Amino acid sequence: MFNASLKEIAAALGARKISSVDLTEQFLDRIGRLNGDLNAFITVDRAKSLAQAREADARIARGDAAPLTGIPIAHKDIFCARGWLTSCGSKMLSNFVSPYDAHVIEQFNRAGAVILGKTNMDEFAMGSSNETSFYGPVKNPWDRAFVPGGSSGGSACAIAARLAPGATGTDTGGSIRQPAALSGITGLKPTYGRVSRYGMVAFASSLDQGGAMGKSAEDVALLLNVMAGFDARDSTSLERSPEDFAGALAQPWAGAAAEQPLAGLRIGVAREHFGAGLAADVAEAVRGALAEFERLGASRVDIELPRSELSVPAYYVIAPAEASSNLSRFDGVRYGYRAPEYRDLLDMYCKTRAQGFGAEVKRRILIGTYVLSHGYYDAYYLKAQRIRRLIAEDFARAFSRCDLIMGPTSPTVAFPLGSKVSDPVQMYLNDIYTIPPNLAGLPAMSLPCGFGAGNLPVGLHVVGDYFSEARMLKVAHHFQRATDWHLRAPKGI
């Protein structure tokens, strides 16, 4: 069942060809064999997972199953889960066992899914390579010498290595889509507010968004059906009528014929996405994907996103500013790590934070505190927020001429472990295509579209207008019905 889709697994469970207990044991055994090399999981609790699996089997026997009942799902270790270690990949929370469930976890529990384990991540979701984790770097299953992308690199690796059939992730500036691209899977960041942030440890509150990661658009749609929904405990959660993202996947584009299911679809292609900095192998794979969409009936529209180049500097003012505020709660007083030796309260604060946070987190706290300080707020933070509005306006103009925007997810394929750790600016530039939708609050996804140098995966970036997730998933599904990039697995997996 390791290569089966979520729909196929659900059918097997419903037909009693396999039990949830057997299925969960198979994945747990596989994690036990392979995780030592890949480092995709931080926490696995066999007893807890199998207890949930037994409950799921009883629910299936009663005829009360939902589409994901009995299916084991991996969760990024940023979502609080009752009784589970929730570390955010940090020493600061290395002893924190959550007393409550995040809304996303509650939703999966209601659906009868099994918590397979908590996946590794960049510390507090700060990173693009999954190398800043206190628990060590995650390795790309396509080549263990390369990064899987970040910060949701553990979830991406788990799916690519068939350690989990589906997973959750979070995306602040590309942390679902970039690892999805570098690891050869499908990942979607919904519209800001579509998925509740309650119980999701905050990095940058105006940018963070939970999302779904799977082998295909169909799998992602089934996961999003569970994750999306209003939550009164999250002031940024949006109250909308429920949508069945999986139900309409196979339908053609409005008015299109079966032989050209995407006829009438207008794909916006921004020249800014194909300029300097884009590797030739990535550009070739993305252009091949665009040609496939044209064969399916879509048409290309040239658009401009002139402020795209400002997205990285704006993001690295706004996100650290919000992080410096959010991470002030980790002080060693109420929960988490506390320095073992200190003179007084101030000394405890200083030593706890100095010892508990890693280098990248400290860097962003310092930047954020600086740009919010007296005399610099207007020069940096306020100006970055104005640029953010201009970027959103660029997207609005583009969507008046097209239905979806497509281009590369990442400027290169996966890069070697350790190659960019000492150069933060080069690391930050990996997110140049994924950051703008976060600044605008738009939904965006990455899907496999080919391979580049070293036989490493390439991702196609798809951006939609607000609340167009169903449209994006339908288009991605038709592309995946016509191609097999999403079915490819790393050698030996």
For residues 448 and 186, is the Cβ–Cβ distance under 8 A?
Answer: yes
| Structure confidence at residue 258 (pLDDT) | 74
CATH number at residue 204: 3.90.1300.10
> How confident is the model at residue 257, as a pLDDT?
75
Cα separation of 300 and 290, whole Å?
Answer: 8
Residue 482 is inside which H or E element, if any? helix 469-482
3-state secondary structure of 293: helix
Identify whether the C-beta of residue 283 lies closer than 8 Å to the C-beta of residue 408.
Answer: yes
**What integer pLDDT is reported at residue 44 of this predicted model?**
98
pLDDT at 396: 98
Which residue is catalytic, options 5, 49, 76, 446?
76
Which is the catalytic residue, given 19, 87, 129, 151? 151
- Tell me if 186 sits within 8 A of 213, measured CB to CB: yes
Query: 371, 377 in Cβ contact below 8 A?
Result: yes
Q: What is the pTM of this model?
A: 0.97
Q: Which domain holds residue 185?
A: 6-252+442-487
Interior angle at CA 112, CA 164 and CA 138, nearest 5: 25
Please indicate, yes or no, if residue 221 is contained in any of the structural domains: yes
Closest CA to 436 of 317, 314, 324, 301: 314
Residue 239 lies in a domain: yes
Asked about 76 being catalytic, the answer comes back as yes
- Reply yes or no on whether 175 is catalytic: yes
Instruction: Judge contact between 448 and 142, C-beta under 8 A.
Output: no
Please report the sign of the dihedral spanned by the C-alpha atoms of residue 28, residue 32, residue 34, residue 40: positive
Whether residue 362 lies inside any domain: the answer is: no
Q: Let me know if residue 52 belongs to a domain.
A: yes
- SS3 category, 404: strand
State the pLDDT at residue 86. 98
172 to 14, 117, 124, 354: CA distances (angstroms): 37, 22, 11, 24
Which of 175, 216, 237, 468 is an active site residue? 175
373 prior amide bond cis, ω within 30:
no
What's the number of domains the chain is made of?
A: 1
Give the mean pLDDT per block of 10 residues along the chain (493 residues). Answer: 96 97 98 98 98 98 97 98 98 98 98 98 97 98 98 98 98 98 98 98 98 98 98 97 92 80 97 94 98 97 96 97 97 96 97 98 97 93 97 98 98 97 90 98 98 98 98 97 97 86
* Per-residue buried b or exposed e for 450-467, using 16+ beta carbons within 10 Å of the residue's own CB: bbbeeebbbbbbbbbbbb
Write the CB contacts of 16 (distance below 8 Å, at least 6 apart in sequence). Answer: 60
Does some domain include residue 425?
no
In this prediction, residue 239 carries a pLDDT of: 95
199 in any annotated domain = yes
Whether 274 is covered by a domain: the verdict is no
Is residue 230, in this structure, part of any structural domain at all?
A: yes
CB-neighbour burial class of residue 186 (10 A; exposed 0-12, middle 13-18, buried 19+):
buried
